[in-house]
Every structure is written in structure tokens, then in C-alpha cells.
Amino acid sequence: MVDLTKGQKEIIQAGGHQLVTGGPGSGKTTVSILKSAKIAREGLGLGQRILFLSFARATVSRVLEAIDEENAITREEKQRIEVDTYHSFFWRILKTHGYLVGFPRRLAILTPPNEVIALSAVRSGYKPASKLTDKEKVEKRAREGVERTRLAIEEGKVCFDLFADRVAILLHGSNRVRSLISTTYPYIILDEFQDTTADQWRVVQALGGSSTLIALADPEQRIFDFIGADPERLNQFQAAFAPSVHDLADDNHRSTGTDIALFGNDILRGKFRQNEYRGIGVEVFESNPNQAYASLVGLVLQARRRLIEGGRRDWSLAILVPTKRMTRLVSDVLREPFGSVPPISHTAAVDMEGPILAAEIVAFLLQQGTHSGCFDELIELLCSYFHGRGGASPTKGDISEASRYRAALAKWNECVAAVRPTPGNSVLKNTFAVHQASAALVMTGDPDVDWVALRAILDTGVCSRLNDVAREVRNLRLLERGTQLRQGLAQDWRDTGGYRNALTITRESFVQEHFAMARKPESGVIVMNMHKAKGKQFDEVIIFEGWPKRVRREIVANPDRIVTGNVKDGPMAQARQNFRVSITRAKLRTTILTPRDDICVLLKSELR
Ligand SMILES: Nc1ncnc2c1ncn2[C@@H]1O[C@H](COP(=O)(O)OP(=O)(O)OP(=O)(O)O)[C@@H](O)[C@H]1O
């Protein structure tokens, strides 16, 4: 067991609502776990549990692991601590009590990929978000809201966006449900409280009526302003619940023996107190793709060697980049051999819409259906993929691609019905050829082998859209040992002698996956957007940003930078907070890679 600091001990002793603040790695999570164990020992009645609410599944895994490793907590105590995401907790409430807010009795989750498909008709009527006026933005949001509500109330399909709002309405309106929850969970711990949205805050207000709340927060790690976090939240919590306030301040247990936390604070304040910081490296690269990626790959290999040689079990190395686009670019680079370097095995935290919809296509083809209308179904899935893969902002190109495919299918079917040859110049010609090839594949009954074989047909086939699908689907780690999908497909083979229900099984397994808790925290090399790193910790972190494009020495574009356009603009508080969160995820070392000819403005020595 760790030796708790004086501040941590006080938190364990205090009663009533609490607000625990402190910088990255100051031990907020740890102390809340130990406090939970104490409550489990002393303060709970029969059947009661402590609820620990977090934003992301990855944080949940980290907390579960921390609980698991805590020798000072007995097994019975551990069982009394329930760690969950806001999403999954809200869903449990809606499933049981959703009828109180007008939902039908049978509810299903509208997963993000299907939500974007459902909303694409509304969204396609608008220009890209950056070109909308404020009035248009409000109108678009309102129309999306109406459609979401309609889907929930009429079809029982509830998307995540509605969860918090409806649970808030439900809890404020029903004494009975509120007291049911508080009886089960007399203590609720709210992780990363600084990022609570307005709707989540309304839920918390209702729960705090009879449950004791312990909010953990670092106001300077607030990075979700763009989706509704509010700098006032901590004050609102104090005003509403008069909690005892405990500040663990700048204690740093994550990266002890380094200056990583200190450097993070200096980035925040814009003043460097030292010339060198232990555990921090700043490296520069030349502004062209070849040399930039060569520098990155070189650093990744060095870090990986350090970690392996350090003998760490389950070591982790995160490559954090400023944008989603760059997550993909870096992942593509690592996946291909780079010069004499073999591919670097890694996971990439890319947005899941595209890969999931791509997986649906692979699953559908695994079914090897031969019924009439089978090709139509494939094209419909492909159109869904076009509509959905761009997430909340489908591109015009993708939407018109879908219309083109649908129009081509109508022509195609006319010919088939009239027993005429199908048009030789149809966009569907190549898709049809690959469909035929996939139907001819001889399956083995081993889901891994068959999935990979089918993906290879798409990958090497003549249809460029299906080549794309094959590439996307690689971003999923679906068929790992013991996953629900793998088991489901194996069972299907046993039951039907084929994969007759592969599409349904795949869809269901995504919903399950979304709520699965038993996942290990990430290990190995992980590529992710800086925003996604919140609440996580890794052995080493490499932060890699984009570089300027120049024409005759003048910068004409400057994408994927830590600070947008790498332009100094006022105090840049949000950019500093984001950067600090990424820097302080490392236990041992953080290396920042920035272009030589346009160093990140937050690193400029003129700030000193
Ligand atoms: N008193 C302590 N002594 C030694 N190690 C500690 C102590 N408290 C926490 N730790 C360790 O320090 C690391 C960071 O702690 P923890 O995750 O609780 O910090 P946190 O404040 O929740 O961080 P963040 O806000 O960045 O997520 C963990 O590995 C934890 O085991």
C-alpha cells in the first residue's frame, strides 16, 4: 500500500460531500478508492454499493486495475465498489424507468454509427459546420434534436446524446427512482468532475439530494469546453452542496523523480523556470513527410527499446497527435514498413464509425447469402458506410457517392428484371465482381481465418470502395481471444454450418463492447488524439504535431498543430490545458516532436 500524504489522509477521514482537487497524478483517484474501501467496511448496509462514475471506458479499466492492485482492500470491499461510465449508468436507468419520460418499454441503443446515418438526411441539408452562421447552427442543432427525440419515442432507438438529459428529467421528476438509486448507492464518486456537462450536472444535482457525493477535479485539466464543460462547475458544486474542500495541489506521484509535472505547470503559466526538465525531451524535425515520419519512427523505436529493456510488464507508449486526421496518418505510417524498419505493431484510437460500418460489410459477406436481393443489401450497407463514416460531419463527396450508388442500383435492377445485360460502365460492375468472389470463398469454420480471408478479397479486389472498407476494418480489434464476436461467430458456424447470422452478431457485439468493462488498460504502442488521453497514464508519451507547408518560404498552410495554425493568440488557456494534460500522462518520459522551422508557440523560449 502507498504511504498516503497528510492531505490524502484528511480526505479519507472527512465525512459529507467532498470536493477533491489536485493536479495530474496528485493521487485523487487513489485516495478515492481507499476511501471507498473504508466506506465499504464501515458505512454500508446490506446490498448497498459505492458508485464510481467516470467518462470513458479506458478510465474505468484504469480504476478497476488500481482497485485490483490495492492489497490493502479485501475482496468483499472490492465487490462493493462499482465502477461505471456515465453512459452505462444512464442506460441502466433509462432501460428500467425510461417509460417515465415517454420512451417505449422496449429500448435499443442507437449506436454512434447508426445515429450518424439516421441524422445524415438532416445534416446533408447544411453547409460544413465552419461555414454556418450562428443562426444556422442553432437551427441545425434543433432539427437534429427533434429527429433524435422522434427516433427514441417512436422507434425506441435512443442515442447517447439523449441519455443525460432524459435521466435528469427523470430523476428530477421522480422521488421514487431517485431514492431507489440513493438507497443502492449512498456514496457516489464523480471522476474528472471539471468536465461534467450541463445535463450531467443536472443529474448530479438530483443524486446529491440523498447520496453523498465525492467530486474529483482538476480545473486545469478541463478540456471539454467544446461539448459543454463549464469553468463555473466547481463553484456550482460548492454552492449547491457545501462540500468540504481538499486540495492535493501539485503533489505528483505519477512521475516522481522527473520534472514532467513541473514542465506541465510551466506550459500552463507560459513561463519556463528551468532550462532542462528531467523526463522531458523536445526534438525537432524537418518539415516534410519523409523526414517528419522518419524522426517519429526513430523515437518510437528508441522508446520501445527503453521500455522493453526496462523489463516492464505491460509497458505502454502513447503517441499523441493533435487531430483525428493525424491519428490515421501516423497509424498508416506505422503499419507499413518504413525504410528498413518493419511495421510497428500498435493500436490506433480512431473514430469508430467508419470501422464499425466497414465491419458490417465484412460480416454481411461472411453470410454468403445467395437469395435475390442479396446484392441490393450489400449496396445498402455500402451506402450506410458512405453516410456514416465521416461521423457527425459527412462529406458532400460521401453523400453524393451514396446517391450515385443507389441510382446505379436502380438501373442495374431494371436490366436484371428485363433479363438484359447489366450496364458495362456501371459503378457497380467492380463491386459486383468482388461480391461474386466473396461468395465463392471456401470457409473453414474458424472465424479468424475466414474473416481475414474475406478481408483479403476486399483488399485485393477490383472495387476501390471495398479496398477502402478492408483498410478501415483493420482498425478494429474484433476478433481478439474471447471477444463476444469471435464466440458468436464460432457458435453460428456450429449451429448453421455457416455464418448465417454474422451481421446481427456483429451489430450486437458492438453494443456489448461499448459497455464491456473488463478491458485491460491500453498497453503496447498506442496512437491517439490528444483529447482522448485525458484520465489515462502511460509509461512514455511522444507528442507529435504537424508541420507548415511553404511556397517560396511563405507558410501557406499549417495543419494538425498543437495550437491551431501555430499562431500566438491571447493567453491560449484551452490550448495550454490540452497540452499540459497530454504532457502529464507519462510516468517516465514525455518527448515532444515539433517542426524545426516553426517550433510550437507554447515552447518558445521568449516566454521565459
Ligand atoms: N501517496 C502516494 N504515494 C505514492 N504513490 C501514490 C500516492 N498516491 C497515488 N500514487 C500513485 O500515483 C499515480 C497517480 O495517482 P492517481 O491516478 O490517483 O492520480 P490522479 O490525481 O487521479 O491523476 P489524474 O488527475 O492525472 O488522472 C498512481 O500510479 C498511484 O498509484
Contact of 455 with 364, CB cutoff 8 Å: no
Reported as a pLDDT band with limits 50, 70 and 90, residue 49 is very high
249 C-beta closer than 6 A to ligand 1 = no
Give the pLDDT of residue 9: 95
Task: Report the percentage of the chain scoring pLDDT > 70.
Answer: 94
Q: Which residue type is seen at 477? A: R
Distance from residue 31's CA to the centre of ligand 1 (Å): 8
Supply the angle between the helices 428-439 and 353-366 in degrees, to the nearest 10: 60
Instruction: Specify the pLDDT at position 228.
Output: 62
Ligand 1 centroid distance, CA of 237 (Å): 24
Distance 253 CA to ligand 1 centre (A): 5
Average the pLDDT over 424-445 and give the result. Answer: 94
What CA dihedral angle connects 93, 98, 100 and 102, to 10 degrees?
Answer: 160
Top-confidence residue, 173 or 59: 173
Model confidence pLDDT, tens digit, residues 446-501: 999 999 999 999 999 999 999 999 988 887 766 565 577 888 999 999 999 999 99
3 state SS of 525 = strand
Dist CA 537 CA 525 (whole Å): 13
What per-residue confidence (pLDDT) applies to 517? 45
Say what the pLDDT of residue 252 is.
Answer: 87
For the Cβ of 208 lying below 6 angstroms from any atom of ligand 1, the answer is no
CA–CA dist 451, 437 (Å, integer): 14
Residue 33 alpha carbon, nearest atom of ligand 1: 18
Whether 456 is in the pocket of ligand 1, judged by its Cβ within 6 Å, is no
| Ligand 1 atom 9 nearest Cα | 27
**Nearest residue by C-alpha to atom 8 in ligand 1:** 27
Per-residue confidence band for 70, with pLDDT thresholds at 50, 70 and 90: confident
Indicate the pLDDT class of residue 68, thresholds 50, 70 and 90. Answer: confident
Neighbours of 589 (CB within 10 A): 21
pLDDT at residue 389, rounded to an integer: 83
Q: How far is CA 129 from the centre of its chain?
A: 21
Task: Tell me: pLDDT of 92 over 60.
Answer: yes
Average pLDDT over residues 105-133: 81
CB of 587 closer than 6 angstroms to any ligand 1 atom = no
Residue 156 assigned to a binding site: no
205 lines ligand 1 (CB under 6 A): no
The arithmetic mean of pLDDT across residues 328-349, rounded, is 86
29 is in an annotated binding site: yes
Ligand 1 contact, 30 CB (< 6 A): yes
Tell me how far apart the 2 most distant CA atoms of the chain are, in Å.
84
For the chain, state the CA radius of gyration: 26
pLDDT at position 225: 60
- The residue whose CA has the least distance to atom 28 of ligand 1 is 254
- Using the mean position of ligand 1's atoms as its centre, give its distance from the Cα of residue 76 in Å: 23
Lowest-confidence range among 11-20, 63-72, 599-608?
Answer: 599-608
Q: How far apart are CA 3 and CA 14, in angstroms?
A: 18
Complex-level ipTM: 0.97
Any atom of ligand 1 within 6 Å of the Cβ of 264: no
Residue whose Cα lies nearest atom 3 of ligand 1: it is: 2
Nearest to 594 by CA among 558, 552, 551: 558
Nearest CA to ligand 1 atom 5: 253
- Atom 31 (ligand 1): residue with closest C-alpha? 30
Between 514 and 116, the higher pLDDT residue: 116
Lowest average pLDDT, out of 41-50, 117-126, 280-289, 312-321, goes to 117-126
Ligand 1 centroid from CA 82, angstroms: 19
The number of helices, as runs of H, and strands, as runs of E, in the chain is 23, 16
Return the best residue to mutate from 29, 192, 534 for the ligand 1 pocket (most ligand atoms within 8 A of CB): 29
Does 460 appear as a known binding residue? no
- Residue 38, annotated ligand binder? no
What sign does the dihedral 507-169-234-89 (CA atoms) show? Answer: negative
pLDDT at 224 over 70: no
Read off the DSSP letter of residue 322. Answer: S
Q: Is 28 in the pocket of ligand 1 (CB under 6 A)?
A: yes
User: Directed axis angle between helix 428-439 and helix 464-473, to 10°?
Assistant: 60
26 is in an annotated binding site: yes
Q: What is the pLDDT of residue 390?
A: 76
Exposure b/e, 317-335, CB count within 10 A at least 16 = b? bbbbbbbbebbbbbbebbb
Whether ligand 1 lies within 6 angstroms of the CB of 322 is answered as no
Q: According to the model, what pLDDT value does residue 607 have?
A: 43
The pLDDT of residue 512: 67
Coil/strand/helix, residue 451: helix
Residue 25 known to bind ligand: yes
Q: How confident is the model at residue 136 (pLDDT cuts 50, 70, 90)?
A: confident
Atom number of ligand 1 nearest to Cα 191: 22
Architecture of domain 6-94+162-248: 3-Layer(aba) Sandwich (3.40)
Per-chain mean pLDDT for the chain? 89
Reduce the DSSP state of residue 517 to 3 states and report it.
Answer: coil
Residue 24 Cβ contacting ligand 1 at under 6 Å? yes
CA of 26 to the centre of ligand 1 (A): 5
User: Which ligand 1 atom is at minimum distance from the Cα of 32?
Assistant: 18
Is the pLDDT assigned to residue 350 strictly greater than 90?
no
Residue nearest to atom 23 of ligand 1 (CA): 25
- Is 22 marked as a binding-site residue? yes
By most ligand atoms within 8 Å of CB, the mutation choice from 254, 316, 541, 588 for ligand 1 is 254
Is the distance from the beta carbon of residue 182 to the nearest atom of ligand 1 less than 6 Å?
Answer: no
The larger pLDDT score, comparing residue 339 to residue 11, is at 11
Question: 223 falls in which pLDDT band (50, 70, 90)?
Answer: low
Q: Is the pLDDT of residue 27 over 80?
A: yes
pLDDT, position 64: 80
**Ligand 1: nearest atom to the Cα of 69:** 31
**DSSP β-bridge partners for residue 45:** none
Q: What is the pLDDT of residues 556-594, one digit of tens each?
A: 999 999 999 999 888 788 899 899 999 999 999 999 999
Q: How confident is the model over 125-133, as a mean pLDDT?
A: 76
Cell of 360: 458490417
Considering the entire predicted model, what is its pTM? 0.76
Q: Once rounded to an integer, what is the mean pLDDT over residues 227-256?
A: 89
Query: What average pLDDT does this structure show over 65-79?
Result: 84
Ligand 1 pocket residue status of 535, Cβ below 6 Å: yes
Q: Hey, which CATH number is domain 259-350+521-595, 3.10.580.10, 3.40.50.10320, 3.40.50.300, 3.90.76.10?
A: 3.40.50.300
The CA 588 to ligand 1 mean position distance, Å, reads: 14
Asked if residue 113 has pLDDT above 80, the reply is no
CA of 55 to the centre of ligand 1 (A): 18
